Amino acid sequence: MVVVLAAGLGLGVAAIMSEQAQRQLATALDIKSILSGRAASVVNTAMAHNLPVDGLFRGAGGLLRWRLFKSGGPQVWAGRRDWLYLMEELRPWPDAAKVMKTRAATVGRIAQALKARNIDLVVAIVPDKARIVTDDMNGPRAAQTQPRYAEFMADIAGQGIKTVDLAAPMLADPRRERLFWRTDTHWSQEGAALAAQAVASAVTTKIDRTTKFKTTAEAAETDGPGDLLRLISLDKVPDNLPIQIRPPIDRQHKETTKAAEADTASGGGLLDDGPVIQVALIGSSFSVNANFAGRLQEDLGAPITNFAEAGGGFAGAAQKYFNGLAYKQTPPKLVIWEIPERLVVQPFTPDDKALEAAFPKQP
């Protein structure tokens, strides 16, 4: 019993002393937090999520669940041939139609405000992985999910906003399973490249397109993102074992896009090199991952400034950008807004409220 208690004490101290736990505790070490009980709650949370053996226990639980039941748990749907899908794409959401209409109206008000400042808006709607890669899904999607892509597209386009349908070229691709990662919810580099080409083709705004960009791939193959493996606690399980005990992670030759040296020397450059912003990109992790922004620059022949935010939901990056100094002081000629389909029906967040406040409804 003494050994067990000593081991528990040691693990608890190690958890509290971890860098992440220290950052959490720094926000709650005051008299008010202690008296209200918030400090105790922060300590409990820090210990629960920073134990040195936490990853081991989570991995063991995820492995047992996968090996015994072929289950990804409440957040991940396990399809055939180790294809994984985010349950958010498959499940119904309360008041989905009303929420979607409200968000479409918000985009419409933003488009009108941009137009008043002579700024064009292009909206690119990213289809769900479950909409594009269907052969191995092997499971039902809620009836609510079937028409929402077309309905949101129609709601946006019906307001006179230039809208890019990314689902059509993806569904037309003969090997569309290459366009999304098997163990991640996002598009692959091939999918990002296809999407960037479609978006660039829809841009008619007069911008300086004299900068040349080149995309190169790393020689060494490395692991892909694998966020769905993390959600089922199997991301730390190795693949090089005598038997396969988890879905093997996707592999990639990671791409980067840079401006050609000649153009850089003559004043061109990437992203924030210059004070003038021609094209602003806002959106989600789809615009952060898989070199989508780089490919978009290459296809446009013009630098873009990427304000997209991983994990920002529908409104996270948009409200920060439109409420920030970059938009107010250096307005672009064009805003490209990438919006994932699954986010348009999810419940409103504080970011939605902040975006509404920036572009309120007219009385």
The pLDDT of residue 310: 95
Number of neighbouring beta carbons within 10 Å of residue 225: 20
Helical residues (DSSP H) of 290-346, grouped into ranges: 292-300, 316-322, 325-329
* DSSP secondary structure letter of residue 128: P
Q: Residue 272: pLDDT above 70?
A: no
Q: Are 229 and 235 in contact (CB under 8 A)?
A: yes
Condensed to tens digits (0 to 9), the pLDDT of residues 73-96 reads: 999 999 999 999 999 999 999 999
Closest of 130, 254, 135 to residue 192, by C-alpha = 254
Structure tokens that stand for 113 in this block: 């405000």
pLDDT band at 347 (very low <50, low <70, confident <90, very high): very high
Question: Does the structure show a pLDDT above 90 at 6?
Answer: no
Please state, in angstroms and rounded to a whole number, the distance separating the CA atoms of residues 55 and 127.
Answer: 32
Q: Assign 270 to helix, strand or coil.
A: coil
Q: Within 147-275, where are the H helices?
A: 148-157, 167-172, 189-202, 227-231, 261-265
* pLDDT at residue 172 greater than cutoff 60: yes
What pLDDT, on the 0 to 100 scale, is given for residue 50?
62
Query: In this structure, which amino acid lies at residue 225?
Result: P
Average pLDDT taken over every residue of the chain: 89
Enumerate the H helices of 129-281 as residue ranges. 129-132, 148-157, 167-172, 189-202, 227-231, 261-265
Q: Where are the alpha helices (DSSP H) in 126-231?
A: 129-132, 148-157, 167-172, 189-202, 227-231
**pTM here?**
0.84
Predicted local confidence at residue 36, as pLDDT: 66
The residue behind tokens 């999304």 is: 180
Tell me the C-alpha to C-alpha distance, in Å, between residue 13 and each of 10, 22, 33, 53.
Answer: 5, 11, 21, 13
Task: List beta partners, residue 72.
Answer: 76
pLDDT tens, residue by residue, 16-66:
677 776 776 677 777 776 766 666 776 666 655 665 545 555 667 777 889
Residue 105 identity: A
Task: Name the 3-class secondary structure at 111.
Answer: helix
SS3 66: helix
Q: Are 278 and 208 in contact (CB under 8 A)?
A: yes
Cα 311 from Cα 340, distance rounded (Å): 11
b (16+ CB within 10 A) / e for 133-172:
beeebeeebeeebeebbebbbebbbebebbbbbbbebbee
